[in-house]
Structure 1
């Protein structure tokens, strides 16, 4: 019987349907026929299960491949969208940089123009103030003296820093002085704190007539104020020219 089953299996696998039929017909009785038929049916059932399993596996594989294809398409779509967004952002950044560069250029030009205008205005004010205080002459004589030793020391401090190079925005000897930086530094040496801006400095004081000016007073000129210095007496003043 075992040899018969092996033969039937071999014939079945080889696809010999006519030979299978011959094997069934050559059975040695009803019992032998049914045994042979059972073997053939078992083989057929196993084949059907294999076919179904193969079909299910194929369907699952196709489904997985379809999912992978969809995921790949989605990934490509996301990458494409990200590339477009990146290009848009880079274009906006480039435009922003150009705008900022143009603004920086305009600001630099405005600062340069304002600086030149301030220098011209300061020179005009210096000359006008010099004419008012000492007839426009450069003074090289002895320092004016007062009855107040502290005030005399203040005057000496002020003239000590004459000749420091002019520096717009400067407020110390190591960097240079502008007019309000000079007055701020001198007054600070004697415990008086002033802001670094001529208009603010002028607004802190009490306005007096030129005839009433006293040594140590802040001299401000222009409206709005454009230049400041320190009056030291005898029609003289010191400043950062």
Structure 2
């Protein structure tokens, strides 16, 4: 177990992590040119109330972003289905036209020959043998005509069925596109409200808010350091246990050297954690390479990401396909407790599971925080943890 836990030396450089609110303060003048004050007679909210409201609005925006991602994924899939159905309908129309032309050919032949009665045809025939030859030909033509009618009816029925299915898919696509527009409006409304709240703060209030955020970030950092110490102690205990087990097995191993080596009962045993560690290295390497890129809701890279877009892309780099939304990603893989987290695990936040980050060890994660912030390292304790999963 100890082999896949690589203990990193803690950097003395202060963490770049800040809370949800602080990063937005720097962009207030760019995001909102208005500076409003409370309505006359209306009590001004306290800084703590503003902070709680802004954080809640960003969380709601994150949840609306997941709704947007879900609707966008559905619309993309439905568009592919509609395009496929339309292509099939075009092919079916060509086959229907071929069946119609075949019917026309047989109808013309029947018209040319069917006007002459059998007796008259026998009288005008060059010979009785020629008459009977022509009759047999017409019988065969009739069989072919019947087959052509059956083909035409089958093609027409299938074409009607495909048109109906395409219509249903178009209705579903329209509903998904409407959900997409609604989710987009919800995200924009929540972010606009948060910017409006921040724009009303005075310079002194902004400074107080930043101080509160620094205090929260420091508390989250302390918790991360406690977890890092716990992980180091556990890794050391496992290392010592492995050394004792190896020493205890040494005499037995010496006696077995004179005997043929026994075949392993399970060649793949003990490789599960190693397999996870190999994938986790790729996941974390990818995530580190994205640090500094901006959060953009609905984005999946390569120049910007939202939270679940980053986790999806990072695990994709390790050969594992994750679904698009946090709500679906939390259902993939094995659930793990916070104290059992390994690098590469996904950590989900808030009761509505609207945010996710990639655990990198020592109580830290890499995540795409929110609009106005960049991909960064931060303590997993900077937000309330909902749960964690190990994708592979």
What TM-score, normalized by structure 1, do the two folds share?
0.42
User: Which of the two has higher C-alpha Rg?
Assistant: 1
Greater RCO, CA 8 A, separation 6+: 2
What TM-score, normalized by structure 2, do the two folds share?
0.27
